[in-house]
Amino acid sequence: MLYYGLAWRPATDNLGDDLVALAALQQLPRVDFRLDADTLDAPIPALRDDDRLVLLTPGLFLRSSAHWPPEEHIAPVCAGVHLSEEDAWGLPLSTLNGAGLEALQACAPIAVRDLRTSNRLAKLGVPHTLTGCLTLTLEHRRMRRHGIVCCDVQEEVIQAIRGFREDVTVLTHTLSDPSPDFDARMKAAKAVLARYASAEMVFTRRLHCAMACLAVGTPVLLLYHPEYEDISRFAPMDAMVRKQPVEEFLREVRQHGMPAPWRNPADVGAIQRKLLAEVAEGFRRAENQPLPLVPPSIAHSWTQERIRLMMRTAAAKIQRLEQQHYDHLHNKFKQLLLEEDVKASLREVLALPEVESALRAASLRLKKEQLPPKEQKALQADYKRNMVDVDDLIRKAEGALGQLGWPEPNDD
């Protein structure tokens, strides 16, 4: 019997993954099974020998390569997938070989989300097409647009926008307590999509937010810090929407006010048609895919070897992290000793009579600079009669040392 299913990530704390699952739901003819995308090799007791499960597997893929190849009844449809350079256990994708690589090649051509995934599969010799994220196919009815949405942008961006608009909705894609309830998660994802579909403009740092807005026709601006955020990892999707460095955006808003709503630069219709055609073709292939992808005994042996490699890699990483920790502590103690020497030296310098006299003279000069000429003369006269407190800089220096923990507390 032919079944259809969805691979999703119940443990994720990223609502963007749920938007991907929601997009997948809109493409499936029905959902007979929902499987954890991170454990695709788990047995499925409900399936009989001649059953087939066509499984749509979007988004983050092969996160744990020790759970690959998939269960023998599964025919994967890889749509808009992303593969990292390393899996969750630190195993490089480049080490994928044997039965694991054969199973991946059996799913080809694989529709990939981004250029980096495309390059990684090219090195493995796996046929693929570059389509973008499945969230680009999200659908929602037209709604009356109102208000501004800020999704996971910096507080300074929110405050700058609120200087011109009161109707600002602040959202986050971070799930504080992810529920294992699939229906509840999809309900929440639909509510967020509805808010994007009804917004006048959306400002975000999140890829899935930007792609969802592009899908429903909402003007979206992708904000980033070029000093430490590399949005080229989204390529080619970073070119589908407007993007701008945070500081540049803030400068323009302060000088010229809020931008008027704009048109997103990409032809989303053409992108959607290509992606949906790849998904439809993936379903046709999976419905006739010879199963299992690799013989179960060979898959089991490969998985066991993968687990052994995983353990060796994890042990090496733990050892490396421990050494980094010790090096960090060593450097920290060296810095503390240096700080103690500096604080002691400064304290000795402050105690010198000529330094105290110079600091008092400087304090007096600063006080006089803030006064008109007549009051300056009066202040000078009072200073000579010891009627003026001019220890400002001395107290400031001692206060700074106090913040650094000097002098040390007295145990008595």
Determine the pLDDT at residue 22: 98
Domain count, the chain: 3
Same domain, 152 and 116: no
119: left (phi over 0), alpha (psi -120 to 50) or beta: alpha
Same domain, 7 and 127: yes
In angstroms, rounded to a whole number, what is the distance separating the alpha carbons of residues 241 and 324?
40
Determine the pLDDT at residue 229: 86
pLDDT band at 26 (very low <50, low <70, confident <90, very high): very high
Which structural domain range is residue 150 located in?
137-266
Continuous segment of H or E residues that includes residue 151: strand 148-151
Same domain, 50 and 108: yes
Among 13-17, 373-377, 408-412, the range with the most confident prediction by mean pLDDT is: 13-17
In a domain, 305, yes or no: yes
Determine the pLDDT at residue 342: 78
Same domain, 91 and 129: yes
The tens digit of pLDDT for each residue in 128-144 reads: 999 999 999 999 998 99
Do 71 and 77 form a contact (C-beta atoms < 8 A)? no
In a domain, 207, yes or no: yes
pLDDT band at 299 (very low <50, low <70, confident <90, very high): very high
The tens digit of pLDDT for each residue in 230-250 reads: 888 889 999 999 999 999 999
Same domain, 119 and 219: no
CATH code for the domain of 178:
3.40.50
Residue written as token pair 């991170």: 38
Mean pLDDT of 70-85: 97
Side chain identity at 116, as an amino acid letter? R
In a domain, 113, yes or no: yes
Determine the pLDDT at residue 406: 65
Same domain, 261 and 171: yes
- Rounded to 10 degrees, the C-alpha dihedral 234/235/240/245 comes to 60
Determine the pLDDT at residue 383: 82
Average pLDDT, the chain: 92
Domain endpoint, select from 229, 250, 266? 266
In angstroms, rounded to a whole number, what is the distance separating the alpha carbons of residues 363 and 155?
38
Do 26 and 279 form a contact (C-beta atoms < 8 A)? no
Determine the pLDDT at residue 90: 87
Determine the pLDDT at residue 341: 79
Same domain, 107 and 125: yes
What proportion of the chain, given as a percentage, has pLDDT over 70? Answer: 98
In angstroms, rounded to a whole number, what is the distance separating the alpha carbons of residues 335 and 332?
5
Domain endpoint, select from 227, 249, 266? 266
In angstroms, rounded to a whole number, what is the distance separating the alpha carbons of residues 397 and 403?
10
Class of residue 332 by CB neighbours under 10 A (exposed 0-12, middle 13-18, buried 19+):
exposed
Mean pLDDT of 7-11: 96
In angstroms, rounded to a whole number, what is the distance separating the alpha carbons of residues 59 and 134?
7
The tens digit of pLDDT for each residue in 139-193 reads: 999 899 999 999 999 999 999 999 999 999 999 999 999 999 999 999 999 999 9
Residues 6+ apart with CB under 8 A from 3: 32, 33, 47, 51, 52, 53, 54
Residue written as token pair 């507390």: 409
* pLDDT over 50 at 412, yes or no: no
* pTM, rounded to two decimals: 0.79
Same domain, 105 and 172: no
Domain endpoint, select from 317, 346, 379? 317
* pLDDT over 90 at 344, yes or no: no
Determine the pLDDT at residue 117: 97
Residues 6+ apart with CB under 8 A from 347: 401, 406, 407
Same domain, 144 and 247: yes
Instruction: Count the neighbouring beta carbons within 10 Å of the beta carbon of residue 216.
Output: 21
Higher pLDDT, 258 or 335: 258
Same domain, 112 and 211: no
| DSSP assignments along 218-275, one per residue | --EEEEE-TTT--GGGGTTGGGSSEEEEHHHHHHHHHHH-SPPP---SS-HHHHHHHH
